[in-house]
Structure 1
Amino acid sequence: MLKMRLERPRMIGVFCLLFILTNCINKYVLSVLKFTFPTIFQGWQTLVGALVLHLLMLSGKLDFSLKTLNSLYICIFREDVALWLPSMFFFVGTIYAGSRALASLPVPVFFAFQNLASVISLTVDVILKSKVNVWSYIFNMALVVSSIGVAKTDPQNNTDGYFWVCYHVLSLGAYSTYQKLIKGRLKLRPAGRLYCNYVYSMILFAPASYFLGEALEASKFPHLYFAKFYICCGLSGILGVFLSLVVIQLEPLLESSGISLDFLSSAAKIITSVLSLVIFPFTLTVPYVSWLAINLLASLFSEELLPLAHPSNSNVVENT
């Protein structure tokens, strides 16, 4: 127990650091370097993720609970992987749309709309007749109202960015909802799910980059021969997969602490949003900042009160 208490703060610190670095580096590549080729960028990230996970599995550091995982052909046709297949599809939509949205929108705005996935989760809980704390209704309604306020007061008003962030939220909500529907039936461990997500995404993005013409356009990218581009892309892929692995390890450590992973993610989003104001150019107005602050603060409690009141109904939405 003492070891767990000592390990928990360290893991929380590592999670926050990886979360901040991963999102800031992604934003830098997508908006500052303007590498707006999501099939290539996400294809690279998922390739790195799959390789890292596979190496960890071969070294015995991870157990995917699939003895035949060395053979991708057999893995794909296993019953558990087949059951997880819709989640892989939603995962692709989530990271593709997220990449398009983050390239166009400021980091705080991206997070503010991403928080709407909590509203989808709450709606599903109501439909499934799960017990929901009344405060969760209030804070989730605050998320909806503040998101509308952010869009209405945005001085830049990037329509394309808002379209893709809405697609990102719907995909993230579908990903979370499907996990609830198959809860108890899926025996595939979290690391195995992550591995299958990466492999499936990599298989889809590779031909898509060619057929969508992004591979040809990327060959003309002005920063293609700059070291900073490759360093950032490499860090993005490596930090991203380790962030996901930390989430997997951190979840059981938080179960007995009264702190949900959603709460921790919301806190990390606030820290990252504040730092992004210093790192990236951002047009500010008083109403705009006010709505963003309401949204990010409301997200701290939109799901945190649920697991405290009803531990059996606690839900953790994975970060992508």
Structure 2
Amino acid sequence: MCVRRSLVGLTFCTCYLASYLTNKYVLSVLKFTYPTLFQGWQTLIGGLLLHVSWKLGWVEINSSSRSHVLVWLPASVLFVGIIYAGSRALSRLKTSPAKICSALLLLAAAGCLPFNDSQFNPDGYFWAIIHLLCVGAYKILQKSQKPSALSDIDQQYLNYIFSVVLLAFASHPTGDLFSVLDFPFLYFYRFHGSCCASGFLGFFLMFSTVKLKNLLAPGQCAAWIFFAKIITAGLSILLFDAILTSATTGCLLLGALGEALLVFSERKSS
């Protein structure tokens, strides 16, 4: 059992690292700044893979009840906000005392970073704030509905379907649908390969996250997530163009300390 948990944790970390670095490469290096198309592609691939997994009997999906679907609809709207705002931000940026301290440290790090970021981009930080607000609202809505008749897989399946439909309709008003024709790497194999990888890696990250949460205690799950974030952040600094100052480094370390305290509080309460 211990070996199985370790394998699930390592699989999650690998998918987390590969998924975020691939997305960062497409959004910031290749500068594919068309989030309705990029996120629509990712959710389409994720939805198709999840549907195929369901038909093959690998996962169980129970979303036939219309009332359950309607109750989850606001969360799906927030999910679109999370992925859309996160994509826009990534293309432009790089209850217990312990939990309270963790939140304060993370807030302090996030608040200080814009004032010490030598690569400051106001538009990127704006979308980062929208992303965080959507994440917070999504988690609150998710917790308020527990115990829910929909499993994590059911919820993600509905999120995928709703995201594909909404982003497809939004691609024209936002201008992404026709602007993408001017994208300089549109016919390059490295762009095609990165987009395909991002779609599949996003699905595997979602699947491994669900497995991680179902198999491990909250404290152990938080520890693996923290480990994945630290590795991803470290490699991002090494692989991508980032200008680090002493103040920026201090903000990053403060944020890491906040995350570590959050892991400590989760392990203590579990």
Percentage identity across paired residues of the two chains:
37
In 2: Cα distance, 1:291 partner to 1:59 partner: 47
Give 1:247-258 correspondences, 5 Å limit: 247-255=209-217
In 2, the alpha carbon distance for the partners of 1:95 and 1:263 equals 24
Aligned to 1:172: 135
Conserved in 1, the CA contact under 8 Å of 2:17 and 2:232?
yes
For 2:62, the equivalent position in structure 1 comes to: 65
Q: Relative to total residues, which structure has the larger helix share, 1 or 2?
A: 2
Q: Distance in 1 between matches of 2:151 and 2:266?
A: 24
Map Cα deviations across residues 140-198 of structure 1 (whole Å, 9 max, x no partner). 111111211211111122111110000000000000000111112x2111111111000
CA positional deviation for 1:287: 1.1
Which residue does 2:191 correspond to in 1? 229
Q: Which residue of 2 aligns with 1:299?
A: 259
- Unmatched 5+ residue regions in structure 1? 67-74, 107-131, 312-320
- In the other structure, the counterpart of 2:239 is 279
Report 1:4-19 matches (<5 A).
4-19=1-16
Please identify runs of 4+ aligned residues in structure 1 that moved more than 4 A: none
Q: What amino acid maps onto 1:83 in structure 2?
A: V
Aligned residues between the structures: 270
Amino acid at match of 2:210: I
> 1:251 aligns to what SS in structure 2?
helix
Counterpart CA distance in 1 for 2:240 and 2:90 is 12
Cα pair distance change 1:182/1:191, threshold 3 Å: same
Aligned equivalents of 2:72 and 2:268: distance in 1?
A: 29
Please give the residue correspondences for 1:8-157 in structure 2 after superposition, counting only pairs within 5 Å.
8-66=5-63, 75=64, 78-106=66-94, 132-157=95-120
Deviation at 1:275, TM superposition (A): 0.5
- TM-score w.r.t. structure 1 length? 0.81
- Structure 2 distance, partners of 1:211, 1:159, is 23
Question: SS in structure 2 opposite 1:155?
Answer: coil
Any idea what the Cα deviations from partners look like across 1:26-64, whole Å, max 9, x if unmatched? Answer: 000001101000000000000000100000001011101
CA distance in 2: counterparts of 1:300 and 1:278, whole angstroms: 22
**Residue aligning to 2:201:** 239
- Residue 270 of structure 1 aligns with an amino acid whose one-letter code is I
CA distance in 1, matches of 2:54, 2:236: 35
What TM-score does the superposition give when structure 2 sets the normalisation length? 0.96
What residue identity is the alignment partner of 1:278? L
Q: Deviations over 1:92-137 (max 9, x none)?
A: 000000000000001xxxxxxxxxxxxxxxxxxxxxxxxx221221
Find out whether 1:197 has 2:155 as its counterpart: no
* Structure 1 residues 180 and 303: alpha-carbon distance in aligned structure 2, compared to 1, 3 A threshold: farther
For the pair 1:261 / 2:221, whether they are aligned, the reply is yes
CA RMSD of aligned residues (A): 1.4
Cα displacement string for residues 2-42 of structure 1 (whole angstroms, at most 9, x for unaligned residues): xx211011111110011000000000000110100000000
